[in-house]
Amino acid sequence: MSEAYKAAGVDVEAGYKSVDLIKKHVKMTETEGVLSGIGGFGGLFGIGTGYSDPVLVSGTDGVGTKLKVAFLMDKHDTIGQDCVAMCVNDIACSGAKPLFFLDYLAVGKNYPERIAEIVKGVADGCVLAGAALIGGETAEMPGFYDVDEYDLAGFSVGIVDKENIIDGSKTKAGDVLVGIASSGIHSNGYSLVRKIFGLDEKDAKETLMKKYDELSETLGEALLRPTKIYVKPLLSVIEKFDVHAVSHITGGGFIENIPRMLPDGLAAEIKKGTWDVLPIFELMQKKANLSERDMYNTFNMGIGLVLAVDAKCAEDVVAHVNSLGEKAYIIGQVKDKTDSQIDII
């Protein structure tokens, strides 16, 4: 052990202990393609057979300032699922099955038990996505992060046959938009969330313990609810139905994300009242007197994934998603574009 390095703020021994504590979490994510364990210089994964013209689809993202809520709550075992979700949900929008995931965790000080909690959340997310956690990096960076702070980012790779890529090209006017419910705010808009509830103030911890009439849990529990991972239900729908386009509702909300899945010349018409807007969104809008546009341009409003499908199978898609334990709704339609790429009426 380097005593000089430890005096500079980096505890190599704590790093070794962290690796030892996370091994059991990593182990539970192993899938058929895993060819290496943690500890090497690279994660090895075999694609295998079953693809005629395989295309790799990749995605990377972080958790953002939702981490500050985890710091205040001193709860770190779910934030990893947010990181996984933000990556794997994106690549699944192309019809891809996630193969593996890697994380990057930068900390002000290495607390091995906390590292293990964070990685447990990552592993839980990988299991939900059917992806293997094949590697990662934990960097202890004293002087760059405060001792009780960290940042978490991830990277995932998935696979899809070229002929099965979902790119929106089949989408047409008259297609129906099916929305699948979110679990909460997910992992977007937390700079605004923190401002609304005063979470940068001295009494932030007390605020997070508050119970609002609109919520069935404390504010902190509602804000830390992890991002839903849609991979398995989405791939199940794709296997049974001809899905024309998929949009993951993340930063930018409905207004930015739904048009991203549509070809030029088409627009989305969203009908309010066709799904259950979650109480947390109603609370935030009322508390901060936010405009409807601000809400729909920042948050998922209770819908985390939107699919465009032929009108003939829309009801069957909803029934299938509901049979998988999710909540799905017909929330609108695709139409020819006029003035706007999305109308919320």
pLDDT tens string 167-186:
999 999 999 999 999 999 99
pLDDT over 80 at 17, yes or no: no
123-167: pLDDT as tens digits: 999 999 999 999 999 999 999 999 999 999 999 999 999 999 999
The encoded tokens of residue 289 equal 């007197």
What pLDDT score was predicted for residue 9?
A: 66
Backbone angles phi, psi at 75, to 5 degrees: -130, 120
212-247: pLDDT as tens digits: 999 999 999 999 999 999 999 999 999 999 999 999
Of residues 71 and 12, which shows the higher confidence score? 71
What pLDDT score was predicted for residue 7?
A: 62
Give mean pLDDT, residues 305-334: 98
Residue 155 buriedness (CB in 10 A; 0-12 / 13-18 / 19+): middle
Angle at 266 between CA 241 and CA 56, to 5 degrees: 50
Residues 181 and 244: their CA atoms lie apart, in Å, by: 19
| Spatial CB neighbours of 247, under 8 Å, sequence gap ≥ 6 | 93, 257, 258, 260, 261, 305, 306
Q: What percent of the chain has pLDDT over 90?
A: 85
DSSP 260-301: HTSPTTEEEEE-TTSS---HHHHHHHHHHT--HHHHHTT--T
Q: Model confidence at 335, in pLDDT bands (50, 70, 90)?
A: very high
- What separation, in Å, do the N-terminal and C-terminal C-alpha atoms of the chain show? 64
Backbone angles phi, psi at 328, to 5 degrees: -125, 150
pLDDT over 60 at 1, yes or no: no
Task: Residue 182: name the closest of 251, 229, 252, 131 by CA.
Answer: 229
| Spatial CB neighbours of 173, under 8 Å, sequence gap ≥ 6 | 266, 334, 335, 336
User: Rounded to whole angstroms, what are the CA distances from 151 to 71, 110, 146?
Assistant: 11, 12, 11
Biggest alpha carbon–alpha carbon distance for the chain: 69
The torsion region of residue 248 among left (phi > 0), alpha (psi -120 to 50) and beta comes to beta
- Looking at every residue in the chain, the average pLDDT score rounds to 94
What pLDDT score was predicted for residue 334?
A: 98
Task: Residue 155: name the closest of 85, 221, 103 by CA.
Answer: 103
Residues 238 and 235: their CA atoms lie apart, in Å, by: 5
Tokens 């341009």 sit on residue: 297
